[in-house]
């Protein structure tokens, strides 16, 4: 992942210039920079011939399109029913205590962003979490913290 | 003599408990012993408590070992009986009692080997379809009794007939792979374990309704399935299964893979279509039905992964073959997903009609924690909570509907006796409030008020009056919402109140409030 660069962002967005390609373009920005920088919005609007309000509306509708840079690690913890049945809420509470931040926030040292997801499709081996894109089953707080180097 | 084969799943769930590390250990051991062994990465058989489940090819069949850690690997190649040997995988009672139709190849074949797919019966449905007229294909699907496996259970053949009969310059086949219900993973397993089956089903659907373009809308929470599907689609194009002339038939069909962005509502078909058009995933009013005016205003059939994956079987085996499974108006097999607090969780594919008790007790073996089962939620976050007293209900669309529930996408989530149904009811409201697209007021605001009202009940504030208020809210939600998200949120809430009233009374005497406020 690289730092924000309007030229690079334009390259990414251009590749998705097709009917209905807006979500793909925003995913492209997410992959390239880790977030959708609000500075990209006028350019994206221009490429897709939309208003800035329309693009902003799409960005804010979908949970994936975070608009600030994430921490060095991204932990997505499933908080849906199947994981609740095996104690994901306890895991979430312990993480909050240890990391000092709740759901959908980044630690003060920018090391970890914790996000809530509803279902990772690993419902028979919960609690489930994605750590930097890698899926883990039967997790507890200590094992997750270890993976985050804590 | 070809090399002996050893199978290690690369399914996301298996990877989540170390399958990749086991595969690496296998590779290292094979190298160290200089063995002539081929490592095949498969999908999962869906016996998740045994993952990573490794299989060795032997003269008597495939022998399973599970669940393995890298340390267990060297002994696989010793002469002594391995302490984690399970015998023939197909004879494991959990699997032997099932009728794997849609999932027949899942966990068995290399999902990215089209020849392996064909050797195991793949492409038979498409080859048959290419001999038929489009109308005959639609007829076969209608005759089979296939109903949408995504949740609503709508007859597939009617959608196809409508789309085919609507004049248009383009038609679309859209696969809804936004499997957002907690407790479900069958779509994910299939896309990772047998992606060509989905592709084949979509091609047949395209030929039947006269569409040249298909789209798979996959949720972003499934990165493994995304990589698998992207590779399978590239292979299908290279092998002529997709493209300008499908299998040399002269008929064109291609499939585009699109990614969702973390919105549960996009599993609702009209919201999904909006999302595919690059917009906010807000639901559309129906009519017009998507089969008449769907993606970009063109006739579109939107189907769940499992619905499309059932199509090749129907064509290859005939409508009667498929119809023979099931009961009443619920025909074919239903992949049930057993999840949550359960000892033996995984995928159970059987004809409709199994009871909840058989699922939870016989297959599930009770809870993982060893405590008594208190409730199961069937059909995802909008499904009912069932008490033990109703466990003899057979799993079919009609029997469930009669008792105020729904089969949905077939997810069964087990809870032990520590569950608090007042909190689960609150979560149902909270979830709907978070995931509401905002179009309908009862859903956007009513669910927020619902969560607040349950908080008051939990605090013991005017319990009877607040329960009456919840009931009122549920009525408004049910009658005043455009789509199933608002319309069905009352199902988990009211079933929790009806079947577990003591949790709402007990809540009155409890002091602490768990859970956080929304907003």
Average pLDDT over residues B96-119: 97
pLDDT of B455-493, one tens digit each? 999 999 999 999 999 999 999 999 999 999 999 999 999
Rounded distance between C-alpha atoms, residue A132 and residue A148, angstroms:
9
Lowest mean pLDDT segment, chosen from A8-17, B65-74, B390-399: B390-399
Strand, helix or coil at B254?
Answer: strand
* Residue A77 shares a structural domain with residue A129: yes
* Residue A78 shares a structural domain with residue A135: yes
Residue A21 lies in a domain: yes
Q: What percent of chain B stands above pLDDT 70? A: 97
Asked if the Cβ–Cβ distance from A61 to B263 is below 8 Å, we say yes
Please report which residue ranges of B403-462 form alpha helices under DSSP H.
421-435, 441, 447-459
Q: Total domain count for chain A?
A: 2
Q: What is the pLDDT of residue B516?
A: 43
Task: Find the closest chain A residue to B418 by CA distance.
Answer: A85
pLDDT of A8-60, one tens digit each? 999 999 999 999 999 999 999 999 999 999 999 999 999 999 999 999 999 99
Residue B345, chain A, CB below 8 Å: the answer is yes
**Which of B277, B341, B345 is facing A20, going by the closest CB pair?**
B277
Q: What is the pLDDT of residue B512?
A: 43
Tokens in use for A39? 């500075």
Residue A24 C-alpha, separation from nearest chain B C-alpha, in angstroms: 7
Q: What is the pLDDT of residue B1?
A: 47
Average pLDDT over residues B202-226: 98
Does the structural domain B421-518 have CATH classification 1.20.1440.230?
Answer: yes
Q: What is the pLDDT of residue B507?
A: 64
CATH architecture label of B5-92: 3-Layer(aba) Sandwich (3.40)
Residue B150 has pLDDT above 90, yes or no: no
pLDDT of B221-255, one tens digit each? 999 999 999 999 999 999 999 999 999 999 999 99
Q: How confident is the model at residue B509 (pLDDT cuts 50, 70, 90)?
A: low
Asked if the Cβ–Cβ distance from B341 to A85 is below 8 Å, we say yes
Residue B205 has pLDDT above 90, yes or no: yes
* Residue A21 shares a structural domain with residue A43: yes
Domain range list for chain B: 5-92, 114-323, 326-416, 421-518
Asked if the Cβ–Cβ distance from B340 to A86 is below 8 Å, we say yes
Q: How confident is the model at residue B115 (pLDDT cuts 50, 70, 90)?
A: very high
Q: What is the average pLDDT score of chain B? A: 95
Q: How confident is the model at residue B112 (pLDDT cuts 50, 70, 90)?
A: very high
Residues whose CB falls within 8 Å of the CB of residue B58, separated by 6 or more in sequence, listed in order: none
Residue A67 lies in a domain: no
* Residue A80 shares a structural domain with residue A143: yes
Cis amide leading into A63 (omega within 30): no
Asked if the Cβ–Cβ distance from B345 to A83 is below 8 Å, we say no
* Residue A104 shares a structural domain with residue A53: no
Q: Is B245 left (phi over 0), alpha (psi -120 to 50) or beta?
A: beta
Rounded distance between C-alpha atoms, residue B54 and residue B14, angstroms:
10
| CATH class of the structural domain B326-416 | alpha beta
Residue B297 C-alpha, separation from nearest chain A C-alpha, in angstroms: 13
Q: What is the pLDDT of residue B136?
A: 98
Q: How confident is the model at residue B508 (pLDDT cuts 50, 70, 90)?
A: low
Residue A66 lies in a domain: no
Task: Find the closest chain A residue to B375 by CA distance.
Answer: A85
What CATH number is associated with residue A142?
Answer: 3.40.30.10
Cβ-based neighbour number of residue B80 at 10 Å: 7
pLDDT of B292-334, one tens digit each? 999 999 999 999 999 999 999 999 999 999 999 887 878 889 9
Residue A52 lies in a domain: yes
* Residue A88 shares a structural domain with residue A55: no
Residue A47 lies in a domain: yes
b/e burial code for range A51-64 (CB count within 10 A of at least 16 → b)? eeebbbebbebbbb
* Residue A57 shares a structural domain with residue A77: no
| CATH class of the structural domain B114-323 | alpha beta
Domain boundary among A61, A93, A108: A61
Query: In sequence order, what are the beta bridge partners of B303?
Result: B175
Chain A, window 14-73: residues with a beta carbon less than 8 angstroms from a chain B beta carbon: 19-24, 26-27, 48, 54, 57-58, 61-65
Strand, helix or coil at A131?
Answer: strand
Q: What is the pLDDT of residue A69?
A: 96
Residue A1 lies in a domain: no
- Mutation to test the B interface, candidates A115, A119, A126, most B Cβ within 10 Å: A119
Chain B, window 16-75: residues with a beta carbon less than 8 angstroms from a chain A beta carbon: 16-17, 48-49, 51
* Residue A51 shares a structural domain with residue A109: no
- A137: domain range? 73-147
* Residue A79 shares a structural domain with residue A143: yes
Asked if the Cβ–Cβ distance from B258 to A24 is below 8 Å, we say yes
Tokens in use for B345? 């969780």
Cis amide leading into B466 (omega within 30): no
Lowest mean pLDDT segment, chosen from A73-82, B155-164, B377-386, B398-407: B398-407
Residue A143 has pLDDT above 80, yes or no: yes
Average pLDDT over residues B143-149: 93
- Mutation to test the A interface, candidates B50, B262, B491, most A Cβ within 10 Å: B262
| Interface predicted TM-score of the whole assembly (ipTM), two decimals | 0.97
Residue B279 has pLDDT above 50, yes or no: yes
Asked if the Cβ–Cβ distance from B261 to A65 is below 8 Å, we say yes
Asked if the Cβ–Cβ distance from B416 to A85 is below 8 Å, we say yes
A112 neighbors A99 (Cβ within 8 angstroms):
yes
Chain A residues with CB under 8 Å of B188 CB are: 121
pLDDT of B362-375, one tens digit each? 999 999 999 999 99
Residues whose CB falls within 8 Å of the CB of residue B287, separated by 6 or more in sequence, listed in order: none
Residue A138, chain B, CB below 8 Å: the answer is yes
* Residue A77 shares a structural domain with residue A143: yes
Average pLDDT over residues B6-11: 98
Look up the pTM and report it: 0.96
pLDDT of B404-419, one tens digit each? 888 999 999 999 999 9
Residue B411, chain A, CB below 8 Å: the answer is yes
């Amino acid at each position: 992942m690289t730092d924000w660069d309007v030229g690079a962002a334009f390259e990414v967005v251009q590749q998705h210039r097709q009917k209905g390609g807006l979500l793909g373009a925003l995913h492209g920005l997410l992959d390239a920079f880790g977030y959708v920088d609000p500075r990209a919005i006028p350019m994206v609007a221009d490429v897709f011939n939309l208003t800035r309000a329309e693009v902003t509306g799409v960005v804010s509708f979908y949970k994936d399109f975070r608009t600030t840079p994430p921490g060095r690690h991204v932990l997505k913890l499933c908080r849906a029913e199947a994981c609740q049945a095996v104690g994901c809420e306890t895991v979430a509470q312990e993480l909050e205590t240890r990391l000092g931040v709740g759901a959908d926030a980044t630690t003060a040292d920018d090391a970890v962003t914790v996000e809530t997801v509803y279902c990772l499709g690993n419902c028979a081996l919960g609690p489930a979490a994605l750590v930097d894109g890698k899926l883990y089953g039967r997790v507890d707080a200590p094992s997750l913290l270890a993976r985050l180097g804590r | 003599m070809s090399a002996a084969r050893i199978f290690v799943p690369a399914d996301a769930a298996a990877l989540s408990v170390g399958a990749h590390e086991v595969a690496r250990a296998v590779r290292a051991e094979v190298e160290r012993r200089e063995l002539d062994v081929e490592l095949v990465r498969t999908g999962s058989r869906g016996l998740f408590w045994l993952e990573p489940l490794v299989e060795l090819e032997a003269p008597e069949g495939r022998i399973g070992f599970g669940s393995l850690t890298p340390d267990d690997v060297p002994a696989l190649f010793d002469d002594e009986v391995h302490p984690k040997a399970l015998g023939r995988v197909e004879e494991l009672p959990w699997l032997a009692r099932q009728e794997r139709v849609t999932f027949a190849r899942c966990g068995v074949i290399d999902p990215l080997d089209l020849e392996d797919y064909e050797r195991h019966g793949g492409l038979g449905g498409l080859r048959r379809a290419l001999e038929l007229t489009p109308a005959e294909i639609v007829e076969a699907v209608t005759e089979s009794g296939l109903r949408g496996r995504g949740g609503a259970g709508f007859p597939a053949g009617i959608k196809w007939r409508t789309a085919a009969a609507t004049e248009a310059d383009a038609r679309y086949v859209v696969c809804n792979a936004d499997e957002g219900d907690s407790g479900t993973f069958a779509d994910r397993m299939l896309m990772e374990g047998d992606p060509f089956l989905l592709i084949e089903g979509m091609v047949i659907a395209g030929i039947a309704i006269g569409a040249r373009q298909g789209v798979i809308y996959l949720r972003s929470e499934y990165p493994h399935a995304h990589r698998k599907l992207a590779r399978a689609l590239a292979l299908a194009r290279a092998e002529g299964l997709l493209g300008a002339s499908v299998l040399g038939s002269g008929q064109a069909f291609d499939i585009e893979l699109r990614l969702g962005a973390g919105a549960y509502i996009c599993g609702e078909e009209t919201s999904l279509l909006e999302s595919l058009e690059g917009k906010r995933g807000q639901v559309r009013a129906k009519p017009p039905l998507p089969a008449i005016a769907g993606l970009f205003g063109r006739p579109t059939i939107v189907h769940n992964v499992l619905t499309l994956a059932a199509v090749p079987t129907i064509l290859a085996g005939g409508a009667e073959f498929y119809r023979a499974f099931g009961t009443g108006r619920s025909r074919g097999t239903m992949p049930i997903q057993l999840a949550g607090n359960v000892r033996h969780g995984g995928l159970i594919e059987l004809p409709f009609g199994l009871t909840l008790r058989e699922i939870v007790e016989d297959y599930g073996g009770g809870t993982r924690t060893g405590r008594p089962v208190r409730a199961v939620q069937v059909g995802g976050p909008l499904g009912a909570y069932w008490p033990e007293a109703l466990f003899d209900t057979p799993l079919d669309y009609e029997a469930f509907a009669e008792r105020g529930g729904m089969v949905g996408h077939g997810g069964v989530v087990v809870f032990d006796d520590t569950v608090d149904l007042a909190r689960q009811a609150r979560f149902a409201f909270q979830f709907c409030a978070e995931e509401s697209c905002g179009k309908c007021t009862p859903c956007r605001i009513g669910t927020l008020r619902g969560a607040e009202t349950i908080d008051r009940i939990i605090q013991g504030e005017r319990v009877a009056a607040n329960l009456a208020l919840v009931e009122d809210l549920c009525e408004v939600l049910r009658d005043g919402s455009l789509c199933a998200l608002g319309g069905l949120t009352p199902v988990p809430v009211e079933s929790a109140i009806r079947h577990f009233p003591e949790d709402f009374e007990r809540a009155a005497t409890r002091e602490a409030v768990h859970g956080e406020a929304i907003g």
